[in-house]
Structure 1
Amino acid sequence: MLRIRELDAGAEPAWDAFVQATPEATFFHLAPWRHVIERAFGHRTHYAYAEQDGAIVGVLPLARMKTLLFGDALISTPFCVYGGPVAATPEAARLLESHARDLMRRTGVPSLEFRRRDVADEGWDERPALHYTFRRAITGNADADMKAIPRKQRAMVRKGIANGLTSVSDRDTRRLHHVYARMVHALGTPVFSEKYFRLLGEAFPDAHDVTTVLHEDKPVSAVLNFHFREEVLPYYGGGTPEARGLAGNDFLYWEVMRRAGAERGARLFDFGRSKANTGAFDFKRNWGFEAQPLHYCYQLREGAKLSENNPSNPKFKLMIAAWRKLPLQLANVIGPTIVRGLG
């Protein structure tokens, strides 16, 4: 008999075993995200799985992101780039989808969104193309992977090496946050809390590291990386104002690629999500990665409107300009309260 169950602590090992064994599942389907979202942002999660003959045959990570500023939505999964139900059978997939729609009706939430990486959900509406992901195979051989980088970008990596940059790999999310906060403030974006970065490290103790680039023993750029199967996913990263002249960000991602391939056996580099027509989008293409559109599919309750809570929305231009003028210390205090609605 196929049935839906709510995830509890006792079922988490079986949930994660299913995710690890299912090719369509991603790092963002893992169960620890549930605790991170609840503890870092205070959002209620609704993780459910399909069970048949005592075994998990499908999973659905889902959370309700409700804030006064940015509205109310059920999303699989906020603060993650991929999501949606993953199942071993079409029947389990349909049951999980039906469960999500029923939850939307019962809670009165205006919208339900699945963040699909590869294909859209049949019969669902899809957001206009905005977010793209960048994924490419790597060999683990430093010489071969360096040669695979386009010539101009390869020159930037070598510029960083010539500037005497070095890297360290550890779990220092506090140092990372200091670098990251300066960067997002300059961009006019509210910053995540240091607590969020710490919780991510605690939730995935063996599946994360922090790569930091140093110039004369001072950090100039850093990134939090996740490791899943044979993939490396640099996720939250940034650089100081000095990084640009030193090619610090170029050297940073080369070091992530080199270290992950040699030290962890990574064979796929997932450069993460970027919005079209942004500097990050162009930067990733300069590495020879092909932009792949993400399929963010949704359903709405009758009369509801789809929210557009992203910095590319023109209505946020004045807010971004004002945010850049705030003192960094004040922005770091206020930012986490705002960003909990921008996942």
Structure 2
Amino acid sequence: MIAGNRADLAITTLDLADPAQTQAADAYVLAHGASTPFHRPAWLIAIERATANRALMLAAVAPSGQICGLLPLQHVRSRLFGQALVSAAFAVDGGILADDPAVIAALAAAAQNEARARGDVPVELRGGVAPGQGWRVCEGEHVAFVRPLATDDEAELLAIPRKHRAELRKALANPALSVDHGCSPAHLRDHYRIYAECVRNLGTPVFPARLFREVIAAFGADADISIVRDGDRPVSAVLTLYHGDRVMPFWGGGGADARRLRSNELMYYRLMGHGRARGAGLFDFGRSKVGSGQAAWKKSFGFDPQPLVYYDWSPTGQLRDVSPTSAKYQRRIELWKKLPLPVANLLGPMISRGLG
């Protein structure tokens, strides 16, 4: 246990194998208005089981025994990319979840102490409140896309700008296309086949198939998979998380015919209706790199970009470089795009589990 900046505050590392402690942490996350699914113990546990990157949940605890702040961390290790404490690993958000400045400072200091104890590794916070002085502020690189869901399908259609709406109408008029949602082994299998092909085409190593299984298992009713089929053939798929009143499509993509069939447009439109039926009020399209084609596509769907701010710190001043836009990776990305899919699927998980 580490003393905090207040006499009545302590920082401790929760035992994620203890149901009582994980339930207390989950209750705090779910009750906090600024939380994300990546703050939940379920995310940490799923990532550790699938990638062997150790999970740490730092908690600020009041004298009453109540949690008053959390910082989920994953110790990501890679021979290729180095090590880091990441919040949250394999995610687009995370960071310190707290309101009291003293709690925030204590959690930031605890993360720094953990980094020193683990061999002077850097700390990467992908969101949350500002951790304070001494941390590098990273902004201008990523944007988020969130907007309220419309009241019904027709209003949702009209909320999409005209040009993109015309493309979507083509998919809606195609009787061969269907969309279903679920968590069955068949959904996981079809999703992975499509996702693996999609990321190979982008030059990115695919995550282990177990990662998707573990997330679905850990989140239960708060996650599912949407599949678009052309007849019986899966053509687009996305794994979605549900958090509070948010629908959060996270890992998705389309096969070779997705653009011709407009199946991605159809998938996200139907997912909006699916989320509305679950009682959600916001559609969170996730993050994209500033100026990327993905960002432009989301904007054409009627979403306005919102700047994201990340934070990092290193006891030595050395930080990881895992950005796919880094100049040193461009040749490797182009080579990866040319790999036969079975080869990419074999090698990808061995590399990607260290990206985090």
**Does TM, normalized by the shorter one, top 0.5?**
yes
1:300, CA displacement in angstroms?
A: 1.7
The aligned counterpart of 1:301 is: 315
Kept after mapping to 2: 8 A contact 1:74/1:109: no
Partner of 1:258: 273
Q: TM-score, normalised by structure 2?
A: 0.92
- Post-superposition shift, 1:311? 1.3
Identity %: 39
CA shift at 1:116, angstroms?
Answer: 1.1
Q: Distance in 2 between matches of 1:293 and 1:128?
A: 7
Is the counterpart of residue 54 in structure 1 residue 69 in structure 2? no
Q: Deviations over 1:177-232 (max 9, x none)?
A: 01111111111110112111111111111101111111122111010011111100
Tell me how large the CA RMSD over aligned residues is. Answer: 1.4
Which stretches in structure 2 are left out of the alignment for 5+ residues? 1-7
Is 1:281–2:295 an aligned residue pair?
A: yes
Question: 8 Å contact 2:248–2:285 — kept in the other structure?
Answer: yes
Alignment partner for residue 4 of structure 1, among 7, 11, 23? 11
1:141-195, Cα deviation, whole Å (9 max, x unpaired)? 2122221111111111111112222101111222100111111111111011211
* Letter aligned with residue 54 of structure 2: R
After TM superposition, the structure 1 = structure 2 runs for residues 229-268 of structure 1, keeping only pairs within 5 Å, are 229-261=244-276, 263-268=277-282
Tell me the amino acid that sits aligned with residue 91 of structure 1: A
Structure 2 match to 1:175? 190
- The partner residue of 2:43 within 29, 33, 41 is 33
Secondary structure of 1:82's counterpart equals: coil
Q: Select the residue among 191, 209, 212 that pairs with 2:224.
A: 209
CA drift at 1:323: 1.1
- Structure 1 stretches of at least 4 aligned residues deviating more than 3 Å after TM superposition: 119-122
Unaligned runs of 5+ in 1: none
Give 1:271 deviation, angstroms.
0.1
Structure 1 residues 129-140: aligned runs within 5 Å? 129-140=140-151
2:245·2:281 contact (CA, 8 Å) conserved in 1? Answer: yes
- For 1:81-120, list aligned pairs within 5 A: 81-116=92-127, 120=130
Matches within 5 A, 1:315-330: 315-330=328-343
Question: SS state of the match for residue 16, structure 1?
Answer: helix
Is contact 2:47–2:214 with CA below 8 Å preserved after alignment?
A: no
Query: Cα 1:33–1:109, aligned 2, differ >3 Å: closer, same or farther?
Result: farther
Alignment partner for residue 347 of structure 2, among 320, 334, 342? 334
Contact 1:73 1:109 in 2 (8 A): no
Instruction: Give per-residue Cα distances to partners, 1:52-84, cap 9 Å, x unaligned.
Output: 111111111011111110011111111111111
The offset of 1:139, in angstroms, is 3.0
Question: Residues of 2 paired with 1:274 and 1:246: CA distance?
Answer: 23
2:4 matched residue in structure 1:
none
Q: Tell me the secondary structure at the aligned position of residue 32 of structure 1.
A: helix
Distance 1:120 1:140 in 2: 35
Q: CA deviation at 1:269?
A: 0.4
Whether the 8 Å contact between 2:194 and 2:253 is mirrored in structure 1 is yes
Q: Is the 8 A contact 1:191 1:339 kept in 2?
A: yes
Give 2:201's aligned amino acid: A
8 Å contact from structure 2 (residues 246, 284) kept in 1: yes
Q: Matches of 2:45 and 2:309 in 1, distance apart?
A: 25
